[in-house]
Amino acid sequence: MLRTLTSIACLLSLLPAIPATAAPARKPAPRAAAPAKKPAAAPAAGTVTAANLGASLKALGLATTTQDGYQRLRVEEERFSYLIDLRFSDSGEWLVCMAHHPLFSNGPHGDHAPLIKDWGPLFQKYNVPFYFCGHDHDLQHLEFSGLPTSFIVSGGGGAALTKLKREERGPFSQSVYGFTHLQVSPEKFIVRHIDPQLKQLHGFQRSLNGRVDLLRA
C-alpha cells in the first residue's frame, strides 16, 4: 500500500476565562530564578544525521549553515558512507538527502560550485536518488545527464517569490507558491508540486532502477 506523507497541523484551544466570582488564586511561593539556558550551537557545516521516516523511506540531513553563516561545506565521506551502510542497506528503501541550500538551482542564487564539488561525487558514488532543498523561493525539479539524483527545490511556502535566473533546465521550474507532496512505496517514489488551490503543477515518478517518468497534471 502506498504511504502518503502529509503534514499534520496542531490546533491549540484557548483556555476559558475565569469567572468574576472565582476565588483569587494563591500566589505561588517564590522560586530561585533558573539559570538562563545557552542557545544551542548551530551544527557544524557538513554534519550528517540520519532519520527513519517509515518502512520505505529514510533520510540523511546535511547541515549547510554554520554559526558564522554560510561558507564552503564539506561532508566527511567516512561518516556519509557509514550511515549509508548502516541505515540504507535493506532492499526497497529509498535514500533521500535534504539540506537548506541547493546544489543546482534555476533561481536567483544559482548553482553552488563548492557544494557541487564536495557533495556531487558522494551522491554519484552512493547513487543518491533524491536531494531536497529550499533557499530559492520557487518550485523546481532538475535532472542532469550522468547524475543519478533528482534535485528538488521546494521554496514556495509563503515568503516573497523570487524571479528565476534561467529556465532552460528542467524538466520543471516556476516562481510560484505551493508545496511538495511525496508518495512513497518500496517500488516507486512520486513527487508532486502542488499550488495553493491543490492543483498539480508538476509531478514525476521514480523507480528503484532510476527511471524517471513525468506525470500528467
The verdict on residue 69 lying in a domain is: yes
Among 11-15, 112-116, 153-157, 195-199, which is the least confidently predicted range? 11-15
Supply the pLDDT for residue 125. Answer: 85
CATH of the domain at 52: 3.60.21.10
Supply the pLDDT for residue 213. Answer: 95
Proportion of the chain above pLDDT 70, given as a percent = 60
The verdict on residue 79 lying in a domain is: yes
Supply the pLDDT for residue 49. Answer: 58
The verdict on residue 154 lying in a domain is: yes
Domain count, the chain: 1
Residue 9 reports pLDDT greater than 50: no
- Return d(Cα 1, Cα 5) in angstroms, integer: 13
Q: What is the mean pLDDT of residues 46-71?
A: 60
Residue 38 reports pLDDT greater than 80: no
Residue 28 reports pLDDT greater than 60: no
Laid out side by side, the sheet with 139-142 consists of 48-52, 57-62, 94-98, 130-133, 150-154, 139-142, 171-174
The verdict on residue 24 lying in a domain is: no
pTM (2 decimals)?
0.72
Quote the domain boundaries for residue 72.
43-172
Supply the pLDDT for residue 201. Answer: 94
Among 34-38, 47-51, 78-82, 181-185, which is the least confidently predicted range? 34-38
The kind and range of the H/E element at 171 are strand 171-174
Residue 190 reports pLDDT greater than 90: yes
Supply the pLDDT for residue 90. Answer: 52
The verdict on residue 206 lying in a domain is: no
